[in-house]
Chains A and B, each alone.
Chain A
Amino acid sequence: MRYVDEFRDRDLCTDRLDAIRSVGAELGRHVKIMEICGGHTHTIYRNGLPGLLPDNIEFVHGPGCPVCVVPMGRIDDVRHLVENDGVVLCTFGDVVRVPGRNGSLLEAKAKGADVRIVYSPMDALDIARREADRVVVFLALGFETTTPPTAATILRARAEGVANFAVHCNHVLVNPAILAILEAPGQSIDAFVGPGHVSAIIGTGTYEYVPREWGKPFVVSGFEPLDLLQALEMILVQLREGRAEIENQYSRVVTPGGNSHAQALVDEVFEVRPHFEWRGLGSIASSALAVRPEFSDWDAEVRFDLPGVRLEDARACQCGEILKGALKPWQCKVFGTGCTPEHPIGSCMVSAEGACAAYYSYGSQGLRSDGTVAS
């Protein structure tokens, strides 16, 4: 596949690994690099990168798995909607498996609730058009990559006057999460791999504070193994030279200013919430979006009386520590025993982008030692 296969080339990956080993050796100290985006976590495990890197280079996984950070209470709120208000609830495939207090949306569906999996928010709007006698609620979540599609769908619903459609908004912002991690006591991250597709929307300029105020290199990366290896090498070179800058490995898609048209649509439809509860990370100020009052006809939180459930995370689950990069999946006591992708206790085990699920599926490959990178 064009622009995918080229970035999985084994020989080129081997070259980059050699280069990484040599700069890693020159650095001569332990280096912790956080990949913020769950898509990167997935690439790292699927390709067995941890086993191929020198011992002193460690990836720690960040908070950028959108399905992982939706708190249990928000799942229970929409479950209440679908079970008590008779709405059609539409959302993305992996979201339906996220555990709520009384089980997941998939379990609600098994008991007869009208929960439907869609590929795009536009598909949910289509259902509303086709089933005019039902109210269709789209459970929206995701970082800045996924917010513009939701904004465009709400704008379309307004333009066409589709009154039986609403959005339950859980869109979150990446920078407040990065800042929460930087400010966490005992944080020992040396550098960041920046998210690729979030940056396609918001641009690389928004991360300026990371090198400037925290002195840490920040390299935005694509999602193929060669992309990540090149980004890692760019980080190591910065560390070796004592530089801390923003660099853009993913220049084929990402620009400094991002997609300003998409930013404008988001701004038209959404406003920043004062606080939002993240699963595992707790309440973070100004870290999520809500539908603007002008669009309240399409805002499920305004249209329905929601319980507004606030719940503690499951006690056994250490997703919070995983999302902050403080623990590795296998260090959680229930990993692989009480908690598996079939029966997740925490949300990090649900999505393919969650560190626990990625490690569960591909972790053993990380021990490969023949110097090759799977594609």
Chain B
Amino acid sequence: MCLAVPGRLVDVEGSEAVVDLDGIRRRVSIMLLAEPPEVGDWVIVHVGFAISLLDPAEAEATLDLLRTAADLTDRGG
């Protein structure tokens, strides 16, 4: 029930937006975001609401760390 999934905004209109969830388009409320998001932004969708933005730069940073550090455990250990 707590399921929340990433999606990309393809249209923003007032307090609502259309989000592309892996090919499925769904209307969601953006009332919970502090700033109105822009088309192209990534959001986390939960029960019909965008509950937060997803930061692509942070996602890349996490993946880079995982790709380069075969063994994170050496980090300052």
Interfacial residues, chain A to chain B (CB-CB below 8 A): 1-4, 6-7, 12, 15-16, 18-19, 22-23, 37-39, 64, 66-67, 92-95, 119-123, 141-143, 145-146, 148-149, 152, 155-156, 197-198, 200-201, 226, 230, 233-234, 236-237, 240-241, 249, 251-254, 259-262, 265, 351, 353
Interface string of B45-77 (1 = CB under 8 A from A): 011110111111011011100110011110101
Known interface pairs A120-B47, A148-B51. Does A12 touch B4 (Cβ–Cβ under 8 Å)?
no
Cβ contacts A to B, 21 pairs, < 8 Å: A3-B6, A12-B66, A19-B70, A19-B71, A37-B2, A39-B2, A64-B2, A92-B47, A123-B48, A142-B2, A148-B51, A197-B51, A201-B51, A226-B66, A237-B77, A240-B77, A241-B77, A251-B55, A252-B62, A259-B32, A261-B33
Number of cross-chain contacts by CB at 8 Å: 147
Interface string of B15-53 (1 = CB under 8 A from A): 000000010000001011110000000101011110111
| B13 CB to nearest chain A CB (Å) | 15
Whole-angstrom distance between the Cβ of B47 and the nearest chain A Cβ: 5
**A155: chain B residues within 8 A (beta carbon):** 31
Q: Which 9 A-B pairs have the closest CB atoms?
A: A120-B48, A261-B34, A252-B59, A252-B58, A1-B22, A200-B52, A149-B49, A3-B6, A262-B32
> Contacting A259 at CB < 8 Å: which of B42, B51, B73, B75?
B51
Count of interface residues, chain B, beta-carbon cutoff 8 Å: 38
Chain B residues within 8 Å of A145, by CB: 2, 4, 46, 51
Minimum CB–CB distance for A44 against chain B, Å: 15
Q: A128 CA to B2 CA in the complex, in Å? A: 24
B71-A2 in contact (CB<8A): no
Establish whether residues B67 and A12, one from each chain, have CB atoms under 8 Å apart when the complex forms: yes
Which residue from chain B places its CB closest to the CB of A122 in the assembled complex?
Answer: B48
Q: Give the docked Cα–Cα distance between A123 and B46 (Å).
A: 13
A259 to B58 alpha-carbon distance, docked (Å): 17
Task: Please give the distance in Å from B21's CB to the nearest CB on chain A.
Answer: 8
Residues of B near A149 (CB, < 8 A) are: 29, 32, 46-49, 51
A315 CB to nearest B CB, Å: 26
CA distance A15 to B59 in the complex (A): 18
Which residues does chain A contribute within 8 Å of B44, judged by CB atoms?
A: 197, 200, 253
CB distance from A342 to the nearest CB of B (A): 19
Tell which of A22, A152, A237, A241 touches B31, judged by Cβ atoms closer than 8 Å.
Answer: A152
Q: Hey, which chain B residues are within 8 Å of A4, CB to CB?
A: 5-6, 22
Bound-complex Cα distance A44 to B40 (A): 32
A53 smallest CB distance to B (angstroms): 15
A141 vs B71: C-alpha distance in the bound complex, in angstroms?
41
A289 to B29, CA, bound (A): 22
Q: Cβ of B56: which chain A residues have Cβ within 8 Å of it?
A: 3, 252
Asked if A15 contacts B70 (CB within 8 A), the reply is: yes
Task: Say whether B1 contacts A3, CB under 8 Å.
Answer: no
A98 to chain B minimum Cβ distance, whole angstroms, is 11
The docked-state distance in angstroms from the alpha carbon of A149 to that of B72 is 37
B residues in contact with A18, CB < 8 Å = 70-71
Expressed in whole angstroms, the Cα–Cα distance for A261 and B73 within the complex equals: 37
Task: Write out the residue numbers on chain B whose beta carbons fall within 8 Å of the beta carbon of A252.
Answer: 54-56, 58-59, 62
Which of B3, B49, B66 interacts with A15 by CB under 8 Å?
Answer: B66
Complex-state Cα separation, A251 to B54, whole angstroms: 9
A38-B2 in contact (CB<8A): yes
Closest to A68 in B: B1
- Does the CB pair A121–B46 fall under 8 Å? no
Q: In whole Å, how far is B71's beta carbon from the nearest beta carbon of chain A?
A: 5
Indicate if the CB atoms of B1 and A237 lie closer than 8 Å: no
